[in-house]
Amino acid sequence: MSSRVASKSSALPAPHTATSPALLIPALLLFVSGAAALVYQVLWIKQLSLVVGVEVYAITTGISAFFAGLALGGLLFGRWADRLQRPVLLYAGLEVLVAVLGVGATFAMSLAASPFAWLEQHVGLAAWVLPFVLVGIPALLMGGTLPVLVRSLAADPQQSGKAGGQLYAANTAGAIAGTLLAAFILIATLGVRGSALAAAMLNLLAAAGALWFQRQRLAPIDTPVKHPAEKVPDRLALWLYSIAGGVALGYEVVWSQSIVQFMSTRTYAFAVVLATYLTGLFLGSALLARRVDRIRDPWGVFGLLIAGAGLIALLEVAFLGRWLVFLQSQAETLALAMGGSELLGMSARFVVAALSIVFVPTLLLGAAFPLALRLSVGRERVG
């Protein structure tokens, strides 16, 4: 993800920085889009646990298919957006398709248990293609929304780490809201299918907002001209970050299973872990995005953040034990002493468990993202 300040060859007359009002609408669109995406993910993982019968397999399959779709969609649609004059229109189209396929996948998942069981009996492991495809195809379109909308800003790569990091933070903040909204409110009030329809309404709202945003623009974005003197971007940073992200997704599965024993119910364990995971990414990206352009040794800082995230994650899992139960009890006692309800006390236990296990590694990973953008994005390939 990146953004650019308009150069002399751009149709936009003024540069966009992270504080520019022109960035507000894309940030709001990405917030809404991120919220809808994570509502779907929470729903699909809940449904997959009924389809495949084993919750850890459901979480693993759901996370793998979801993020594989996001990655492939970002690659394919990002490259396509680099050749478009009006990428905002592509973004709007993607949001409409996500609404249709997201609801379709949710309804199909509710009927997939019998077909999956039949496939597993007759084709073995190949049966897992069914849930993977049901989650992966809508996620493919979701993955395209972020780079396509970022491409529409036509910003200078010198500002990519700053503006791109803040747009990423906005998208992640929406994802946090969607995770908590689905787990604690929507499913209880609307059910699974009703929640999917609510998420689809968010997609359609984002599409309508994108069309309105396009109408407010004075001119389409010109295809950027080549700048021979520009330093060739180093894609190694993106490859390293993708590897670190893959490891982090593996930890998300481990964390979800590890944290269950410290919570009163398995139902909310995944949602709490995911919300904390995303909060760390959001805060890390937002904090470093403000300073990324002033860092003299981006490779050094990038390496420290990635290595630190991995080391801390290993140590937290290795030393998980009764100390966490003690901290949870203290937090619950404090919440009740302050006049809180039993729900508040239980929530305090959830928060302590998630913060102790998940938060710090994801904070460091989120901080590494603006640096990866700064190191890897050039003028020719924003998407």
* All domains of the chain in start order, with CATH: 21-219+232-376 (1.20.1250)
Q: What is the pLDDT, as a whole number, of residue 252?
A: 63
Q: What is the pLDDT, as a whole number, of residue 17?
A: 41
Alpha-carbon distances, residue 321 vs 272, 325, 328 (angstroms): 19, 7, 12
Please classify residue 67 by burial: count the beta carbons closer than 10 Å to its beta carbon, then call 0-12 exposed, 13-18 middle and 19+ buried: buried
Q: What is the pLDDT, as a whole number, of residue 99?
A: 97
Q: What is the pLDDT, as a whole number, of residue 237?
A: 65
Per the CB < 8 A criterion, the answer to whether 205 and 66 are in contact is no
| CA 197 and chain centroid, separation | 20
- 10-residue mean pLDDT profile of the chain (383 residues): values are 38 41 82 95 90 80 89 86 83 96 95 92 90 94 86 57 70 90 90 96 96 74 46 60 66 61 60 82 82 80 85 79 79 81 72 80 85 66 50
Q: What is the pLDDT, as a whole number, of residue 255?
A: 62
Q: Which pTM does this prediction carry? A: 0.77
Per the CB < 8 A criterion, the answer to whether 194 and 39 are in contact is no
Q: What is the pLDDT, as a whole number, of residue 162?
A: 59
